[in-house]
Structure 1
Amino acid sequence: MSESIKVAVAGAAGRMGREVVKMVLEDPQLQLVAAVGRSTGPVDAGSLVGKPDTGVILSGHLAEALERTRPDVLVDFTNPKSAMPNTETAVALGVRPVVGTTGFTPEQMEALDKQCKEQGIGCLIAPNFSIGAILMMKFAATAAKYLPHVEIIEYHGDQKLDAPSGTSIKTAEWIAESRQELRQGNPNEEEVIEGARGGYYNGFRIHSVRLPGVFAQQEVIFGGHGQTLKIRHDSYERAGYMPGVNTAVKKIMNVTGLVHGFEHFLD
C-alpha cells in the first residue's frame, strides 16, 4: 500500500470537524497529524470523537500546527470569516486545502488559484460534499432546459451564518447555464413585505429558511403548463458528507490549482 496521506483538520472541535477527525482515524490510508480548534482546550483528538487517544492534541494555532506537523492536506470546516485566511496559510506552507466552508468571492478564488499554481499544489472549495446533493444539482440543471420557470427553497438550522446557502447558489449557477435569463412572475408584482419573494438570481428566486431543528434540505421547484416538478435532497446527519470528504482528500493529491465544486472529483 502506498504511503498514507497526512491530514490536518481545522475546526476539529466543531460538529463537522469531529466527523472529519473520526473519518480520518477510521481510514488506514489517512493519518491524522494535526487538529485545530479553539473551544475545547488541549484535548486529544481521539477522545474528542470517542476513540482511543491518538497523541494528536488540539491546538489553537493553525500556522504553528501546520509548520510543526507538515501535513499533505488541510480539511477546513470552520466559518466564512476564518476560511480564507486559513486557506491562504495552508497554501503558503504547501498544504493542500479541502474546504467545506462557503463565502469565498470570485476574486478570492482567483487569487487562491494563482497561489496554488505557484506552489504546485491543489485546493478544493466545495459548497457540498454530499453525492446526493450533487445529483440533485445535476438533475435540476437538466430539468431547467425544458422547464425554465423555477424557484429554489433551501432549509438550514437557525445558526447558519450565510444565506442563501452555498449549495443553493451553486444550483442556481448550474440552472443559469442551462436556460436563458427569464424574469418570472407577474411584471406588475409588488412585494407587500420586503423580501417576501426571496433573493433574485438570473430571473428566478431563492428562498432561505432558517429554523431550529432543521439540518440541511433543498428543494428545486419547476413549473409548467398544468404541472410541476420537484427535485429535493435531504441530509439527515453530518456523517453523510464524509464519503465525499474522504474522496476529496485522496484526489486533491493529484491536482494543481483551485477546483470549485466536489462534482469535479466524481468519476
Structure 2
Amino acid sequence: MSDLIRVAVLGASGRMGAQTCAAVEAADGLQLVARLGRGDAPGAGTLAGADVAVDFTVPSVTEANVHALLDAGVHAVVGTTGWDDASRGRVTEHLGRVNAERAAAGLGGLGVLIAPNFGLSAVLAMTFAAKAARYFESAEVVELHHPNKVDAPSGTARHTAAAIARARAEAGLGPSPDATESGWEARGADVDGVRVHAVRLRGLVAHEEILFGNEGEQLVIRQDSFDRASFMPGVVLAVRSVGSRPGLTVGLEHVLDLS
C-alpha cells in the first residue's frame, strides 16, 4: 500500500458513516474516494480504487459486503456488529482463498479488521476486564445504548463477555454462583456462561459496565461514549493498520500496544 491510503466508506449516509467520512477527510495520509449509501453494492465500479473500505452498515448486509470487498482486492475495517463464530469463519475461509491467489500473483495479502468497538476507552475497559476476570467469583456485563440500535446484546458486550469467559476458563474457575430456578429471562443473555444485560434508553450513546464480585468486595469497570466522535481515533488507527495485518483480526486491542 502506498503512503496515501485511499478510503471508501460503506454506510456513509448513517451517523457513524458520516462521522467516519469527516474523520478520513481530516486525517493526514488518508483520502476519501467513495461514499456508499443504502443500495450501493461494493465493487470495482463503486469503490473508486480504494485501498481500504470502512463498513458501518447493518448486520444483515455486513458479511456480504466484506466478501465483496475481498473479491475487489480491498482491505476491510468493520464496525458493524452482529458477527458470530460462523460468519467470522466464512470470512477467514474466504481470506485464505483470496490471499493464496494473491500470493501466487506476487501480491500482498488482504486484511479484515472487525472491531466490536473503536472507542479507545472501551478497548481499554475490555482489556482490563479480561485481566481482572480470573480474580473474581462472579462476573456480569451491562451494556446501555440508544434505542435505535438493532442488535442486542451489543458486539462490545459479547466481545467483553467472551474474553472474561476465556480468562475464567484459563484460571480454572467454574460458573459464577447463581441459584436461579425460574425467571431465567430476567437474567440476561448467556455469552459463554457470562450473563449480559442490555438497556435501550433515549439519550444514551454507548456505555458498558463490567461487574466483578467476591465475598465482601466488588469491582466495577465502566466506560461511557457520549459522542460518536470518540470512536474516530480508533477508526483512523484501524484504517492505517489493516494493510499490515493480513488475515482476520477481531478487536482493536490487537492493534494497540497493550502489553
TM-score by length of 2: 0.88
Residue 72 (1) aligns with residue 62 (2): no
Residue 228 (1) aligns with residue 218 (2): yes
Residue aligning to 1:25: 25
- Matched to 1:190, the amino acid is E
Task: Say if 1:67 and 1:93, in contact at 8 Å, map to a contact too.
Answer: no
Offset at residue 32 of structure 1 (A) = 0.8
**Structure 1 109/164 Cα, relative in aligned 2: closer, same or farther at 3 Å?**
same
Residue 153 (1) aligns with residue 138 (2): no
**Structure 1 255/159 Cα, relative in aligned 2: closer, same or farther at 3 Å?**
same
Residue aligning to 1:216: 206
**Structure 1 256/226 Cα, relative in aligned 2: closer, same or farther at 3 Å?**
same
Residue aligning to 1:182: 174
Task: Say if 2:8 and 2:47, in contact at 8 Å, map to a contact too.
Answer: no
| Other structure's SS at 2:148 match | coil
- Matched to 2:69, the amino acid is A
Mean CA deviation greater in 257-266 or 61-70: 61-70
Offset at residue 11 of structure 1 (A) = 0.5
Residue aligning to 1:96: 75
Q: Deviations over 1:122-180 (max 9, x none)?
A: 11111011111111011111111111311111101111111111111111111111113
Task: Say if 1:182 and 1:202, in contact at 8 Å, map to a contact too.
Answer: no
Residue aligning to 1:250: 240
Q: 40, 43, 50: which is aligned to 1:61?
A: 40
Offset at residue 184 of structure 1 (A) = 3.1
Residue aligning to 1:141: 130
| Other structure's SS at 2:35 match | strand
Residue aligning to 1:56: none
Task: Say if 2:34 and 2:46, in contact at 8 Å, map to a contact too.
Answer: no
Task: Say if 1:36 and 1:65, in contact at 8 Å, map to a contact too.
Answer: no
Unaligned runs of 5+ in 1: 39-59
Offset at residue 85 of structure 1 (A) = 1.0
Q: 196, 199, 207: which is aligned to 2:189?
A: 199
Once residues 125 and 64 of structure 1 are traced to their aligned partners in structure 2, the CA distance between those partners, rounded to angstroms, is: 20
Residue aligning to 1:238: 228
| Other structure's SS at 1:213 match | coil
Residue aligning to 2:8: 8
Size of the alignment, in residue pairs? Answer: 243
Once residues 177 and 251 of structure 1 are traced to their aligned partners in structure 2, the CA distance between those partners, rounded to angstroms, is: 26
Task: Say if 1:66 and 1:90, in contact at 8 Å, map to a contact too.
Answer: no
Counting only pairs closer than 5 Å after superposition, residues 38-57 of structure 1 correspond to structure 2 as 38=38
Unaligned runs of 5+ in 2: 100-108
**Structure 1 68/155 Cα, relative in aligned 2: closer, same or farther at 3 Å?**
closer
Residue 126 (1) aligns with residue 122 (2): no
**Structure 1 263/186 Cα, relative in aligned 2: closer, same or farther at 3 Å?**
closer
Once residues 185 and 131 of structure 2 are traced to their aligned partners in structure 1, the CA distance between those partners, rounded to angstroms, is: 28
Divergent runs of 4+, >6 A: none
Residue aligning to 1:55: none
Offset at residue 64 of structure 1 (A) = 4.8
- Matched to 1:63, the amino acid is P
- Matched to 1:266, the amino acid is L
| Other structure's SS at 2:153 match | coil
Residue aligning to 1:36: 36
Task: Say if 1:148 and 1:179, in contact at 8 Å, map to a contact too.
Answer: no
Once residues 84 and 157 of structure 2 are traced to their aligned partners in structure 1, the CA distance between those partners, rounded to angstroms, is: 15
- Matched to 2:78, the amino acid is V
Q: Deviations over 1:36-88 (max 9, x none)?
A: 113xxxxxxxxxxxxxxxxxxxxx42335655612100100111011011111
| Other structure's SS at 2:185 match | coil
